[in-house]
Amino acid sequence: MSDLVARTGRLQQRYEAGCRLVAGCIPFRYRSLDDLNNSEKVVEVLMINSTSGPGLLFPKGGWENDETVEEAAVREAIEEAGVRGDLMDFIGYYHFKSKSHQDEFSPDGLCKAAMFALCVKEELDLWPEQSTRTRSWLTIQEAVESCRHEWMKEALEDGFCKWLAQKE
């Protein structure tokens, strides 16, 4: 069992103009292609299974009052995906509608997600949601095809990929 514990509940949840504020990240790593004639590195992103249906997700969750948005993104990566690393840059805000998180402050389930790039340095053997989550390292193209939500696909293609191109 992990010493880390996932936060639960909505008591500390942040809202803005009827939207639940969410923080998340696109965890990534560079993997060398073991080809004698090629020292090229490929970028892989880490996705996790959804607990509510088919398709894969990036770690994300509620941004709480006692933390910065960056701290929330890092916490979600640990809780949901069991990874630690260097939070790089903010890649954008993405709006979506949650079917499972409608409440008195966001009756329509509107959410605004702040997404970051996270360079993975460590994969934990034990993490809070390991009993309900599995991790998958995918190429960017595989990840695009596997995204459960359109907004996450947009974050990957229009946010992360553009950010990565500027870094190279």
Tell whether 6 is covered by a domain. no
Q: Is residue 68 part of a domain?
A: yes
Whether the pLDDT of residue 1 is over 50: the answer is no
For residue 5, tell me if it sits in a domain.
no
Task: With respect to residue 2, please indicate whether it lies within any of the assigned structural domains.
Answer: no
Q: Give residue-wise pLDDT tens across range 12-46.
A: 889 998 889 999 999 999 988 766 566 678 999 99
Is 2 a residue whose pLDDT tops 70? no
Residue from 67, 78, 76, 57 nearest 2 by CA: 78
Structural domain contains residue 155: yes
Residue 8 domain-assigned?
no
- CATH number (domain holding residue 144): 3.90.79.10
**pLDDT tens profile 111-155:** 999 999 999 999 999 999 999 999 999 999 999 999 999 999 999
pLDDT at 26: 98
Kindly give the residue spans of alpha helices, DSSP state H, lying in 25-137: 69-76
Domain annotation covers residue 128: yes
Tell me whether residue 7 is in a domain: no
Strand blocks (E) in 74-133: 83-97, 110-123
| Structural domain containing residue 125 | 15-166
User: What's the DSSP call for residue 63?
Assistant: P
Q: Which residues of 19-48 are buried (b: 16+ CB within 10 A; e: fewer)?
A: bbbbbbbbbbbeeeeeeeeeeeeeebbbbb
Other Cβ atoms within 10 Å of 17 Cβ, number: 8
- Domain count across the chain: 1
Question: Residues 6 or more apart from 24 whose CB is under 8 A from it?
Answer: 58, 59, 60, 61, 73, 76, 113, 114, 115, 116
Q: What six digits make up the tokens of 86?
A: 């260097």
